[in-house]
């Protein structure tokens, strides 16, 4: 398969982006794989989502909330992870479904799947079979606990993996009350790692001319972001535990009460600590607070001293004073406040699309922007998440036309 983007003209999407001209076939469902596919679509790839007839992706039924007319309710969960995609419904147990998927795979740059190990093999689309169809294909495969090892066959669900991978033991007010993260972070991270791996494999294909398999899992994605808590365990031999809204290695860094509210501060250096103590009249020479390590060791005492000083201020006045002193600080916003924030809108983090059932709707926008010099080259035109099989007829017509063009080219000796 050629890796020249000009050979994928039929797969080009409007609005630009670094992956314009690439075709992604998204066989995944739920959140991890679809999030990876959406990320690639945000980068300009044409993403064709293959769904089960009649029911479609599981997330079409995940709610409430549902929105839209009573006879055509739409799940906001599905809307969150399927923008910039087309949908075709295929029964992969039927001859027709397998035939259409085969033609899509012949033309694809990336295929995304998150089936349990062995399912695609039984459907006739093993890794070897797909690479035989298309040697340049990048296969992104996402599982719950990994493709091999003693627990490879376990089903992976986000909250279960948050617990199994240790994240819940770090999250919550104290060790007796573990909490999950407020979004499906294991799913989202595995989608992000998967998209990152797929793009890396496409880059390597430019050198080798061959595709390859990229594997990740919910388990791997969470362990991949253990960061300093991981080395705290593997190197220092400590077992971190949940301790609420204060940083385990930096103080003061966390959520503090003030008059009628709360603010967050981050005092991450001795220079900032000096500025902070000056601004609020604290004793900079107090032995218990002399160094960051001392402050971490006397955290409860420190919190009491700071909150006593903060009690004279309401939140907005306190944030103003912290800003004037050069101390990183902020409030805790609700999501409606976040999406109304002019800074969020200035970064393209809210995008308007036209949905065939819901009309004009706003979706959380892509987190990446691209520039060529001063000119922004980010994809600017975004498509609403598709209706089930909403593009099936058009995709089948495109495949038929592509097959005819290929036959004509071969007949001319091309």
- Four-residue CA torsion sign, 219, 223, 224, 225: positive
> Which residues, other chains included, contact 99 with Cβ-Cβ below 8 Å and sequence gap of 6+?
none
187 is catalytic: yes
DSSP β-bridge partners for residue 371: 376
Distance CA 247, CA 303 (A): 12
Q: What is the distance between the alpha carbons of residues 385 and 26, in angstroms, rounded to a whole number?
A: 13
Cis peptide before 252 (omega within 30 of 0): yes
β-strands 46-51, 23-26 pairing = parallel
3-state helix, strand, coil in the chain (%, to 5): 40, 15, 45
Question: Can you tell me which residue has the tokens 């093993």?
Answer: 126
Strand partners, 264: 255, 330
Q: What does the alpha-carbon distance between residue 131 and residue 133 come to, in Å, rounded to a whole number?
A: 5
Is the bond leading into 64 cis (omega within 30 degrees of zero)?
A: yes
Helices (H), 209-285: 218-223, 227-234, 270-280
Gap between the Cα atoms of 192 and 38, Å rounded: 10
CA angle (85 as vertex; 191, 393 as ends), nearest 5: 140
Q: Which residues contact 112 (CB under 8 A, 6 or more apart)?
A: 24, 25, 26, 27, 28, 33, 36, 37, 140, 142, 194, 198
Of 42, 187, 389, 391, the active-site residue reads 187
> CA quadruple 234, 235, 238, 244: dihedral positive or negative?
negative
Residues 380 and 44 sit within 8 Å (Cβ to Cβ): no
d(CA 383, CA 206): 29
* Residue 254, both tokens: 């966390």
Give me the DSSP letters along 2-21: ---GGGGGGG--TT--TTTT
Helix (H, G, I), strand (E, B) or coil at 146: coil
Residues with active-site annotation: 187
């Amino acid at each position: 398969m050629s890796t020249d983007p000009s050979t994928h003209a039929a797969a080009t999407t409007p609005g630009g982006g670094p992956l314009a001209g690439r075709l992604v076939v998204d066989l995944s469902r739920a959140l991890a794989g679809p999030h990876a596919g959406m990320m690639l679509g945000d980068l300009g790839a044409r993403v064709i989502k293959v769904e089960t007839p009649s029911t479609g992706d599981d997330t079409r039924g995940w709610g409430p909330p549902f929105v839209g007319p009573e006879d055509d309710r739409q799940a906001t969960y599905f809307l969150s992870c399927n923008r910039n995609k087309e949908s075709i419904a295929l029964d992969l147990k039927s001859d027709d479904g397998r035939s259409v998927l085969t033609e899509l795979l012949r033309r694809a740059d990336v295929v995304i799947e998150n089936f349990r190990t062995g399912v695609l093999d039984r459907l006739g689309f093993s890794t070897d079979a797909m690479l035989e169809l298309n040697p340049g294909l990048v296969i992104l495969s996402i599982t719950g606990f990994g493709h091999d090892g003693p627990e490879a066959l376990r089903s992976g669900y986000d909250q279960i993996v948050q617990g199994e991978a240790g994240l819940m033991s770090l999250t919550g007010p104290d060790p007796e009350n573990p909490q999950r993260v407020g979004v499906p972070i294991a799913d989202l991270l595995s989608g992000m790692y998967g998209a990152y791996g797929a793009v890396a494999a496409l880059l390597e294909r430019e050198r080798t001319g061959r595709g390859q398999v990229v594997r990740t899992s919910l388990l791997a994605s969470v362990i991949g972001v253990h960061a300093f808590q991981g080395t705290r365990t593997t190197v220092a031999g400590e077992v971190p535990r949940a301790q609420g809204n204060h940083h385990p290695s930096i103080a003061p860094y966390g959520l503090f009460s003030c008059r009628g509210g709360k603010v967050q501060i981050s005092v991450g250096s001795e220079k900032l600590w000096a500025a902070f103590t000056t601004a609020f009249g604290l004793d900079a020479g107090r032995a218990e607070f002399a160094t960051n390590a001392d402050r971490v060791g006397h955290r409860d005492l420190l919190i009491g001293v700071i909150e006593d000083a903060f009690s004279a201020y309401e939140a907005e006045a306190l944030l103003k004073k912290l800003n004037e002193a050069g101390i990183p600080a902020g409030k805790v916003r609700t999501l409606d406040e976040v999406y109304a924030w002019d800074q969020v809108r200035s970064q393209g983090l809210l995008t308007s699309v036209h949905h065939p059932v819901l009309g004009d709707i706003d979706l959380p926008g892509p987190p990446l922007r691209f520039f060529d010099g001063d000119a922004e080259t980010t994809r600017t035109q975004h498509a609403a998440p598709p209706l089930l099989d909403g593009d099936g007829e058009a995709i089948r017509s495109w495949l038929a036309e592509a097959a005819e063009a290929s036959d004509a080219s071969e007949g001319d000796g091309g």
